[in-house]
Amino acid sequence: MAAIVRLSSMCRRGVKPLFYQSPLLSRPVAALQRDHEQQHLPTARIHSSQALHGSDAKAASRHWTAERVLSVVLLAMGPVAYFSPGPVVDYSLAAALTLHGHWGLGQVLTDYVHGETKVKIASAGLFVLSTVTFAGLCYFNYNDVGICKAVALLWSK
Amino acid sequence: CFLFFRTFARRGVCLSKPHYNALCRHVAPMGSTAKEEMDKFWSKNTRLNRPVSPHVTIYKWSVPMMMSITHRGTGIALSGAISAFAVAALVLPGNYSYYLDLIHSLSVGPYLIGLAKFGIAFPLSYHTYNGIRHLCWDIGKGFKIPDVYRTGYIVLGLSIITSLALVVM
């Protein structure tokens, strides 16, 4: 099966920055193989994404992009909350803050928790925490002064 | 977290024609994903009860390292504070004004109030400014080491100034 080969940089050059802007880097591709020569020459082993099919392969990449988009949205909400506080901003802030925190803590989990059962338990715990947080913030927005007013009142003392 | 990403930066891939390269002419796909390989690493090493090699305890700490873990720490702290607030809103009787008046009546004194405000303002400012720095990295800007340090100091400076400004507001 012939296709374009892509080799690891340890073969040639040194460090490349992680998010080097190149269209060639979007995903690994299959190898150019000359089977009769493989036994004699050093072979670099690469990860092929063929184990993932269709939407799975793009899911992680899309999640990454969504995280950055949400970060920018949350950044923009700061001035908006300051200059035009109100219920719309309160509920949007509740959603954006909770989701940003949920995804952020999810990355912390991925980095430090290993082992299938531990990951499952921790993820479930995180999900409960985020749900309760969102519920609590919405409850506060509905039954009390709301997030923007709360910050203003807290700071006025 | 920062070190983790730098390790993977060294594995960056580049396109090359096989017959130009004497060292690695042929590539064979492994048939497993990186995630599967990582899971195999962890399950094997926990099963064999192997200790983790010293890393953060022996490696010389640098400003970028400290800023990276501080970004994570402030993120966790802010998230925790929001969750605690949300749970309190659900569980505690009485409304927000009641608890605010309660804190007012304690008459803690201006310096302690200022300190508490700084304690809230600084993590928020730092996480926000360093977050912008992260977003710059995500679009590919600011990776040269002098730039990493320069933007880092700018973030630190802006965070302190903004926090102080918020405290006196």
- Report long-range pairs for B91-100 (Cβ below 8 Å, ≥24 apart): B95/A143, B95/A144, B95/A145, B96/A140, B96/A144, B96/A145, B96/A150, B96/A153, B97/A145, B97/A153, B100/A153, B100/A154, B100/A157
Domain boundaries, chain B: 2-47, 63-168
What is the secondary structure of A62-100 as a DSSP string?
HHHHHHHHHHHHHHHHHHHHHHS-SHHHHHHHHHHHHHH
CATH architecture of B63-168: Up-down Bundle (1.20)
Burial class (CB in 10 A: 0-12, 13-18, 19+), A97: buried
**Residues in chain A closer than 8 A to B29 (CB atoms):** 28, 30-31, 45-48, 50
- Asked if residue A112 belongs to a known ligand binding site, the reply is yes
Instruction: Please tell me which residue, A20 or B115, carries the higher pLDDT value.
Output: B115
Report residue A31's pLDDT band, with 50, 70 and 90 as the boundaries. very low
Q: What is the DSSP letter of B53?
A: P
Could you read off the pLDDT of A78-101 as tens digits, one per residue? 999 999 999 999 999 999 999 999
Q: Which residues make beta-bridge pairs with B13?
A: A8
Output the CA–CA distances (angstroms, integers) from residue A85 to A149, A151, B124, in the order listed. Answer: 7, 11, 19
Q: State chain A's mean pLDDT as an integer.
A: 80
Shortest Cα–Cα distance, B91 to chain A (Å): 9
Query: Contact B31/A44, CB-based, under 8 Å?
Result: no
Domain span including residue A32: 2-47
Could you read off the pLDDT of B62-117 as tens digits, one per residue? 999 999 999 999 999 999 999 999 999 999 998 899 999 888 888 778 888 899 99
C-beta of residue A31 within 8 angstroms of C-beta of residue B48:
no
Give yes or no: residues A28 and A105 share one domain: no
Residue ranges of B 118-137 with Cβ closer than 8 A to chain A: 128, 131-132, 135, 137
Give yes or no: residues A72 and A140 share one domain: yes
Give yes or no: residues A65 and A41 share one domain: no
Give yes or no: residues A77 and A41 share one domain: no
Cα distance between residue A18 and residue B37, in whole Å: 20
Shortest Cα–Cα distance, B1 to chain A (Å): 8
Sign of the dihedral defined by the CA atoms of residues B117, B118, B120, B124, in that order: positive
C-beta of residue A65 within 8 angstroms of C-beta of residue B138:
no
CATH code at position A106: 1.20.1300.10
Q: Would you state the structure tokens that stand for residue B100, as one six-digit string?
A: 């605010």
Q: Which residues make beta-bridge pairs with A43?
A: B26
Report residue B38's pLDDT band, with 50, 70 and 90 as the boundaries. confident
Local structure of B38: helix, strand or coil = helix
Cα distance between residue B54 and residue B60, in whole Å: 12
- Comparing CB atoms, the residue among B32, B42, B75 nearest residue A51 is B32
What is the secondary structure of A9-35 as a DSSP string?
GGGS-----TT---GGGSS--PPP--H
Give yes or no: residues A66 and A105 share one domain: yes
**Residues in chain A closer than 8 A to B78 (CB atoms):** 101
Least-confidence region, from A72-81, B10-19, B31-40:
B10-19
Q: Would you state the structure tokens that stand for residue A34, as one six-digit string?
A: 């000359």
Give yes or no: residues A94 and A36 share one domain: no
Domain boundary residue among A10, A29, A47?
A47
In chain A, the number of structural domains is: 2
Give yes or no: residues A41 and A74 share one domain: no
Q: Which residues are CB-neighbours of B62 under 8 A, at least 6 positions away?
A: none
**Residues in chain B closer than 8 A to A39 (CB atoms):** none
Output the CA–CA distances (angstroms, integers) from residue B118 to B111, B112, B165, in the order listed. Answer: 10, 10, 9
Local structure of B104: helix, strand or coil = helix
Give pLDDT, residue B28.
Answer: 75
- Reported ipTM: the value is 0.80
